[in-house]
Amino acid sequence: MASTTGESSRILHEIETLKSAKFDLERRISALESQLHNLNQPHNNGVSNASSTSPSTFPHGLSPDMIYRYSRHLLLPSFGVQGQLRLSKSSVLVVGAGGLGSPALLYLAASGVGRLGIVDHDVVELNNMHRQIIHTEAYIGRSKVESAAATCRSINSTVQIVEHKEALRTSNALEIFSKYDIIVDATDNAPSRYMISDCCVVLGKPLVSGAALGLEGQLTVYNYNGGPCYRCLFPTPPPTTACQRCADSGVLGVVPGIIGCLQALEAIKIASAVGDPLSGRMLLFDALAARIRIVKIRGRSVQCEVCGENSEFKAAQFQEFDYEKFTQSPLSTSPLKLKLLEPNSRISAREYRDRLHSNESHVLVDVRPEHHFKIVSLPNSLNIPLASLDGRLEEVVSALKEEEHKHKQKSKSSSNGDVELYVVCRRGNDSQRAVKYLQENGYPSAKDIIGGLEGWAQEVDPTFPSY
Amino acid sequence: MQLTLEFGGGLELLCNSVKIHNVSIDPENGVGKLIMKDLLSWVRANLIKERPEMFMKGDTVRPGVLVLVNDCDWELSGQLDTTLEEKDVVVFISTLHGG
């Protein structure tokens, strides 16, 4: 038995070493390919391994390699040489290398845009993999931009890939955006969406905007051909409670995949000047109903504070604008850390473990939604979702009574019969709201577990699943 | 008046997770005319089961909600004054931010 354990840990160690070596090699190959591409750039548009009897490029400017690589594009009468040439001279910036950005980047690189920029500050995580298909397991824990750039280069080494490993801010957005013709918004939060749209208006760039959550997606092109900007449509930000995140509400992986593909398509259409871009219209995708609806939206608003006729919103105003304050939500996607309760109304996960070990008489209420509870829960916890706590208070009462009864039977001696009431949730926000409610409704000693089940996994049981 | 009302982008959660509602609404006062303003009050009173502030603010929809009458932004048809007709399809959709 011991030798088997030793053997498997040796194999695991070797896999890790090899993976790390593979990663370094891939990085070097990718960097060299990009270097080679830049060296070839001033002379002609392609990698010249053409035979001596044919010119390295033809009068239209496509090299033999490009003709072969993009032949199926060139065969399309409505796209053809003209479309491919325009595409190869264009530059596209994708903001966000996540669920939307992954397929968008894959198709933009494959289709042969001239220069492709990627902005993101995040690292690849295991729970990204089901939808962020540009990343591979080998890159878990590493920069999303590096990971996405390596995949793009491995698909098409002739595209110039530019890595922007930084969070987009008003301080760097103008400089980054100004180097590109078309901007693709593949971000996941409201302040970023306002910031990106405003920056596109200031610089006069078309914006391909996509969003996905749960089983629905939305897509449109802003600030293009007389169409509206994001602010024309949504002059006032929504309340923060209306801004759900994939990390809280969930998302079926293929849904942002579909929207991201459509974003690539719209960017390609604009870059190659082919077809009718989705400007002044919005595509609404409902995955469950298998329905795509395309609706007509308002045009540019003359009263728009940013793109309207009398707008004073220029680069200087953009750089001064506080998007987090405007939308009341953070640019980074870090989860909310609520401070609603006094410290003496809270216990840490470790304290809860100690009380559990000392057989303290208590009831643990888990206030997460039922489908969360089904994923994983602590033993002997009672699931009453926060939204229905008001109507199900009776269940808490009877659980407390039952526990008191058990306790009295066990220790017939000097029991004061006090049964503690604890509340847990996923991260320790809803549990505070629940405790506040319980304290106001007859349970002044109710306490919540700080950090929720995530805290439990971090402090007490590392094998407890995170989600 | 027969209307089809649809909720999306998470707004369906406010009406028991039902997305499509086929409803029959009689214009008040027998004027025979139903405008979006009337419809909004009707929806709020009859379909919205929780958190009405997530649907309306003041006498109109809350910021971040798009209203479409027959697949067309209600800004183009007169917003609250848009006159509804038999068999119209009205969509209320919350803008998404995820990705």
Pick the residue from chain A with its C-alpha nearest to B77.
Answer: A298
Question: Is A191 or A55 the better-scoring residue by pLDDT?
Answer: A191
pLDDT of A5 above 90: no
Cβ atoms of B93 and B8 closer than 8 Å: yes
**Dist CA A31 CA A37 (whole Å):** 10
Residue positions of A annotated with a catalytic role: 246, 425
What residues does CATH 3.40.250.10 cover in chain A?
343-460
Residue A424 has a pLDDT of: 97
Say if the Cβ atoms of B97 and A244 lie within 8 Å: yes
Say if the Cβ atoms of A242 and B66 lie within 8 Å: no
pLDDT of A41 above 70: no
**Dist CA B56 CA B65 (whole Å):** 9
Residue A335 has a pLDDT of: 67
pLDDT of A38 above 60: yes
pLDDT of A206 above 50: yes
Residue of A193, A241, A289 lying closest to B97 (CB–CB): A193
Say if the Cβ atoms of B99 and A249 lie within 8 Å: no
Element (H, E) at B36: helix B36-46
- Min Cα distance B21 → chain A (Å) is 14
* CATH code that applies to domain A90-327: 3.40.50.720
Chain A neighbors of B8, CB-CB under 8 A: 216, 284, 286
For residue A297, the SS3 value is coil
Chain B neighbors of A293, CB-CB under 8 A: 71, 91
| A334-338: Cβ within 8 A, 24+ apart | A335/A247, A335/A248, A335/A427, A335/A429, A336/A429, A337/A427, A337/A428, A337/A429, A338/A428, A338/A429, A338/A432, A338/A433
pLDDT of A8 above 50: yes
**Dist CA A179 CA A281 (whole Å):** 27
Q: How confident is the model at residue A40 (pLDDT cuts 50, 70, 90)?
A: low
> Domain A343-460 class?
alpha beta
Cβ atoms of A222 and A281 closer than 8 Å: no
* Mean pLDDT score, A179-186: 98
Residue of A98, A188, A284 lying closest to B93 (CB–CB): A284
Say if the Cβ atoms of B99 and A210 lie within 8 Å: yes
Residue A56 has a pLDDT of: 66
Placement of tokens 């809350």 in the chain: B62
* Angle separating helix axes A144-155 and A2-40, nearest 10 degrees: 60
* Mean pLDDT score, A199-213: 98
What residues does CATH 3.40.50.720 cover in chain A?
90-327
Pick the residue from chain A with its C-alpha nearest to B13.
Answer: A242
Pick the residue from chain B with its C-alpha nearest to A243.
Answer: B97
Q: What is the DSSP track for A81-142?
A: HHHHHHHHT-EEEEE--STTHHHHHHHHHHHT-SEEEEE---B--GGGTTT-TT--GGGTTS
What are the pLDDT digits (tens) for A50-73? 445 556 667 788 999 999 999 999
* Mean pLDDT score, B34-58: 94
Mutate to test the interface with B, among A296, A304, A327 (most CBs of B within 10 A): A296
Residue of A190, A233, A298 lying closest to B97 (CB–CB): A190
What are the pLDDT digits (tens) for A99-133? 999 999 999 999 999 999 999 999 999 999 999 99
**A-to-B residue pairs, Cβ atoms closer than 8 angstroms:** 103
Q: What is the DSSP track for A264-287?
A: HHHHHHHHHT-S--SBSEEEEEET
Residue A126 has a pLDDT of: 96
Chain A neighbors of B65, CB-CB under 8 A: 238
| Of A186, A180, A193, A157, the residue nearest A264 (C-alpha) | A186
Residue of A256, A286, A296 lying closest to B72 (CB–CB): A296
What are the pLDDT digits (tens) for A385-429? 999 999 999 999 999 999 988 888 776 544 556 899 999 999 999
* Mean pLDDT score, A87-92: 97
Per-domain residue ranges of chain B: 2-94
ipTM of the complex: 0.95
Residue A35 has a pLDDT of: 78
Residue A48 has a pLDDT of: 43
Chain A neighbors of B89, CB-CB under 8 A: none
- Tokens at residue A261, please? 């593909």
Q: How confident is the model at residue A24 (pLDDT cuts 50, 70, 90)?
A: confident
Placement of tokens 């994923």 in the chain: A375
Chain A neighbors of B98, CB-CB under 8 A: 99, 188, 211-214, 244-246, 249, 251, 256
Pick the residue from chain A with its C-alpha nearest to B94.
Answer: A242
| Of B66, B26, B69, the residue nearest B46 (C-alpha) | B26
pLDDT of A460 above 90: yes
* CATH code that applies to domain B2-94: 3.10.20.30
